[in-house]
Structure 1
Amino acid sequence: MDEEAPLRFYGCGINSFFQLGPLVSECPSQSAGAAAQASDDGSGAIIQGQNIHFSSQEKKSVLHLPQPLALERYVAEEDGLVQDIACGATFTIALTSRGVPYQWGTVNGRAYPEPSRVSLGVPLRCLQVSCGRKHALALMEGGFVTSWGVGYFGQLGQGDNLSSDRPRLIHHLDPPRLGGDRVVAVACGGQHSAVHTAGQSVFCFGFNRYGQVGQGQACNKISTPRPVNMSGIGSSQIRQLVCGRHHTSVLTDKGQVFSWGASSFGRLGLPDPKKIVGLPTEVPAFRCCPLAALACGDFHVLGLGVDGRAYAWGYGSEGQGGLGATLHLRTPRPVEGLEGSRIAQIACGAWWSMVVTEAGRLYTWGYGDGGWLGLERASKLPYVEPCPPVTKYGATCSFDSDFNACLPAVVSTLSHLRVEKVVAGGGHTIIMARRIQRRFSRAERKVVQGFDGHEMRRGGREGIRRKQERWGCWVWKGLCLIPAGMQTEPRALKMLTRAPLLPPRPPLLFLPPHTLRRLSCPAPDLQRRGAVKAVMYRA
């Protein structure tokens, strides 16, 4: 039987603009919600210029491995628990279970070192938040939309190019203005925004130099929401709307993908497109293998198939495509290195890709100089120029990058956790995960019975056991019992020389930690027949 632990948050990447928030190790003792109540007016420290790397506050500017974040200490109890997170280039927004957004980082030149409650200005619950590079949109009850942040290209939808520190209603998207229709989802790109309504209409606004607003032709900017001609989707329903740096994509309930905007590097997934595609155009690669989800980076895209496989296309000079090479992908290709793992969620940072498997393991790949991949780096990496994939590389370096992961790699420092969701921005990653507290069932205790002539009893003299929560395992009679699907932390792995990955089946592994010298896997035929309920490894 599994007991669900509280949701915890971990961050890695660049923290120069406070976008990762307070770390547990750096967080002072204070009551939950104190910072939120103090900053409810939306005030923050104004920072002049961009030289924030040498802030007077003691913050780690780069975290190469995921570190626990102390977000719950700054969220007021009456606002509920954090249930979703969105990331921009230099800021992060969290949404609580009671529809209250909190933001931290640097927004419109104003720094929020700690999570601060965002005052929406209207007494409505927030349902969804989306972040662009330097702006954000929030969807509220009733279909109302607010925007704030940088608005140089009209991406706030207010009819001007003004920026705003506080959320303002986009009156052009009010339900009465839409003839009774209402917005059901919002999305933000580099400098443009998009929404779709319950009536299957799409509205875009903002920077349009590459046709990403979907008006059929390019112009510098469109500062008010404009409808996009979506007649090409026919009777299909819009399932998801996503935005990249200079393009926009729509996923339908039939698994079809429609894209428009800049086509360079193959980010639209079209076989032979023009330089600028001004109207929604179907990606033919997914007519036979429909998708269930989409995620956009700056210049590349990930797709999640209904079969649980991940697909990539677009920019790939740092290995974002996950094929072991550094080439752009003009059409969608299946990501390699994930065979045998069914994908549950996909996400993209600006220059990197991430997936979460159904087993709760996080894989990342792509450009990783800033530590946002959460991977441990090797001391020496091969130097590779963009070339045909004659040889597949797991990790490389190039003339402008010290670390490129060209194939998916598991984030081993989170192996003791079950990752539920991952989000990323322009230079940071935030992970939502739980620690599964495993308890042995009666059937599993019977399996243990008989080994070494002892019995596993609760509180018995011969069956004394000790739960190691930190290692995610149990210690009993000198044996380390690790439930299936649960990995130990690196500290425990160091104690087990040459420890293999835990198999997905036998529910228990018995490892003698003090006398272990070599490990050997159980007979494959026994695993296939399912005859092995527990396996004991001895020196």
Structure 2
Amino acid sequence: MPRKKVTEVTGNGGMKKKKPSGKRKERDFSSDDDFDFEQENNKKPGRPAAKSGLQPVTVADDLKEKIKLECPKVKGQLLIFGATNWDLISRKEVPKQQAAFRNLGQNLWGPHRYGCLSDVQVSSVVSGPCAAFSLLITTEGKLWSWGRNDKGQLGHGDTKRLDAPKLIEGLSDQVIVSAACGRNHTLALTDDGTAYSFGENKLGQLGQGSQTDAVLSPATISYNGQPLVKVACGAEFSMVVDCKGNLYSFGCPDYGQLGHNSDGKYIARSNRIEFDCELIPRRVALFIEKSKDGQIMPVPNVVVRDVACGANHTLVLDSQKRVFSWGFGGYGRLGHTEQKDEMVPRLVKLFDFPGRGASLIYTGYQCSFAVNEMGGLYFWGVTNTSRECTMYPKIVQDLCGWKVRSLACGKSSIIIAADESTISWGPSPTFGELGYGDNKAKSSTSAQEVKTLDGVYVEQVAMGYSHSLVIARQDTEQEQDKLKKLPEYNPRTV
């Protein structure tokens, strides 16, 4: 139902931003109190923002909720397939400083067990569409990492690449319940709602109040508000959600991906374009919907329940099962039937009807997914840029009737755990992340069952830029025997 257009909105109010000298001045909006909808309906996009003067979010200790987040109930054995030469992924050549690793790692065309993890029970596995590294969380809540480590994103206090998973000692006294991977940075969430970050921080994506080349060991973000319950990473930005359903963002504001009505660009010396980055978590206070004639209206009562980030865009699922998207609009990944960037979270209309709400959301590098209340999987955006893009959510016909349990998307490939099967597809070139096996098809434009995992019940899937990870159930002797028949991967080391 269309909402009444307004020119003034009341809300929680926000701190005014300081205007730095030497930069083009622009009114910025830190909450819906400051947002003039008449002005916004006629404004030209792409103006630079003023530098944020916000202080870290702080809530008095006696007003904080006391929470205890649970580790995922999943447990099983980790399997890997795809590209494992971590320094070569997404590059034409291994960097000179990593020359010693040039010939380490191979393309695994089918599922492999990690030899070093034979006795480790895994409850969650994490990577991301921009990531050439991965994380796993054990059933005891310990965080392990491996892969590319140019910026310390593995959290071991150095920049040495790791070809096999290793415990992050700096978090060994914490119980980790979830984590997220950006291009070169990591967020980890503890059971008491505290977020740690490490890795690249040139654009403030660690939320620690500074811009530095890299932070090599885990440190808490600059936030003292209500306990956090969700974390997510884009390529160079981050999102966190607190237990009250408030969304906070930090990092690079390019394309409006932080949701603060600005892309943060300004012209520095020598006509160089630079960004006013958000260095600490800042609340995303405004959610909107746009009518067919382009009028902008606020959407009230948004309580965020889940968040997912692509390379430069974000999806949010709220308590009313509505979906919002914003950031880079290219190839239709926002689902608004147009390719415009969105500077603040905008309602995806398809899911704003009774009985049609979303229950799950996922993002790929330049695409988006949602599972609706009826169990239907919807897709929008693009996986293959040489093919036609999908400008708004469309049902994935190949998966009608399947109950999707877990989904992950890398640069262009997709993997899904549904019912008793594992399903994947993706355009060429691929590097084994589809898991079809040696001497089998390397790519597929339509959903295919992964026959190499027949008889293996997959609890959860994750996908990096060009590698896949799955947690395989091993509760029965039959399941254990099936896993033992899979080849073991023991990477060479320098």
Report the TM-score when normalising by structure 1.
0.54
Match of 2:250 in 1: 260
- Residues of 1 paired with 2:280 and 2:77: CA distance? 36
Name the amino acid aligned to 1:160.
Answer: D
- Residues of 2 paired with 1:98 and 1:191: CA distance? 27
Per chain length, whose mean CA-contact separation is higher, i.e. which structure has more relative contact order (CA < 8 Å, sep 6+)?
Answer: 2
1:142-184 deviations in Å (ceiling 9; x for gaps): 3321111111111111111111110111111110xxxxx4322
1:460-500 deviations in Å (ceiling 9; x for gaps): xxxxxxxxxxxxxxxxxxxxxxxxxxxxxxxxxxxxxxxxx
Match of 1:189 in 2: 182
8 Å contact from structure 2 (residues 304, 319) kept in 1: yes
Name the amino acid aligned to 2:367.
Answer: W
Query: What is the CA distance between 1:123 and its match in structure 2?
Result: 4.4
1:150 to 148, 151, 166: 148
- Residues of 2 paired with 1:188 and 1:278: CA distance? 18
Query: What is the CA distance between 1:403 and its match in structure 2?
Result: 1.5
- Residues of 2 paired with 1:434 and 1:204: CA distance? 35
- RMSD over aligned CA atoms reads 2.2
1:285-338 deviations in Å (ceiling 9; x for gaps): 267311111111000000011111111011102111111101000000111333
Query: What is the CA distance between 1:127 and its match in structure 2?
Result: 1.6
- 1:127 is aligned to 2:140: no
Match of 1:162 in 2: 160
- Residues of 2 paired with 1:116 and 1:262: CA distance? 36
1:202-249 deviations in Å (ceiling 9; x for gaps): 111111111101121212211111211211xx3x33111111100111
- 1:220 is aligned to 2:184: no
Matches within 5 A, 1:62-211: 98-107=75-84, 108=86, 109-120=105-116, 123-132=119-128, 133-175=131-173, 181-211=174-204
SS at match of 2:332: coil
SS at match of 1:143: coil
Match of 2:324 in 1: 311
Matches within 5 A, 1:303-452: 303-340=316-353, 341-369=356-384, 401-434=386-419
Query: What is the CA distance between 1:97 and its match in structure 2?
Result: 5.1
SS at match of 2:199: strand
8 Å contact from structure 2 (residues 232, 308) kept in 1: yes
8 Å contact from structure 1 (residues 345, 421) kept in 2: no
SS at match of 1:413: helix
Moved more, 306-315 or 208-217: 208-217
Gaps of 5+ in 1: 1-94, 176-180, 371-400, 437-539
Instruction: Count residues in correspondence.
Output: 304
Query: What is the CA distance between 1:369 and its match in structure 2?
Result: 1.9
8 Å contact from structure 1 (residues 318, 366) kept in 2: yes
- Residues of 1 paired with 2:118 and 2:413: CA distance? 31
Gaps of 5+ in 2: 1-71, 87-104, 265-275, 288-299, 422-494
- Residues of 2 paired with 1:114 and 1:368: CA distance? 22
Query: What is the CA distance between 1:124 and its match in structure 2?
Result: 4.0
- Residues of 1 paired with 2:401 and 2:139: CA distance? 38
SS at match of 1:318: helix
- In structure 2, do the counterparts of structure 1 residues 214 and 362 end up closer, same or farther at CA, with 3 Å as the change threshold? same
8 Å contact from structure 2 (residues 202, 212) kept in 1: yes
- Residues of 1 paired with 2:404 and 2:76: CA distance? 23
- Residues of 2 paired with 1:407 and 1:216: CA distance? 37
1:415-436 deviations in Å (ceiling 9; x for gaps): 2433343221221111232399
- Residues of 1 paired with 2:332 and 2:202: CA distance? 27
Match of 2:232 in 1: 242
Moved more, 413-422 or 325-334: 413-422
- In structure 2, do the counterparts of structure 1 residues 413 and 124 end up closer, same or farther at CA, with 3 Å as the change threshold? closer
1:364-422 deviations in Å (ceiling 9; x for gaps): 1112426xxxxxxxxxxxxxxxxxxxxxxxxxxxxxx5422111111112224333432
- Residues of 2 paired with 1:414 and 1:273: CA distance? 37
- In structure 2, do the counterparts of structure 1 residues 421 and 252 end up closer, same or farther at CA, with 3 Å as the change threshold? same
8 Å contact from structure 1 (residues 356, 420) kept in 2: no
Name the amino acid aligned to 2:357.
Answer: R
- Residues of 2 paired with 1:360 and 1:195: CA distance? 30
- In structure 2, do the counterparts of structure 1 residues 413 and 162 end up closer, same or farther at CA, with 3 Å as the change threshold? same
Query: What is the CA distance between 1:265 and its match in structure 2?
Result: 0.6
Query: What is the CA distance between 1:361 and its match in structure 2?
Result: 0.8
1:93-116 deviations in Å (ceiling 9; x for gaps): xx9954211111012242211111
Name the amino acid aligned to 1:310.
Answer: V
Moved more, 118-127 or 404-413: 118-127
SS at match of 2:286: helix
1:495-538 deviations in Å (ceiling 9; x for gaps): xxxxxxxxxxxxxxxxxxxxxxxxxxxxxxxxxxxxxxxxxxxx
- Residues of 2 paired with 1:127 and 1:143: CA distance? 8
Matches within 5 A, 1:527-538: none
Identity of aligned residues (%): 28
- Residues of 1 paired with 2:403 and 2:192: CA distance? 37
Task: From the CA coordinates, give the structure whose radius of gyration is larger.
Answer: 1
Match of 2:475 in 1: none
Name the amino acid aligned to 1:102.
Answer: L
8 Å contact from structure 2 (residues 256, 262) kept in 1: no
Match of 1:518 in 2: none
2:223 to 220, 230, 242: 230
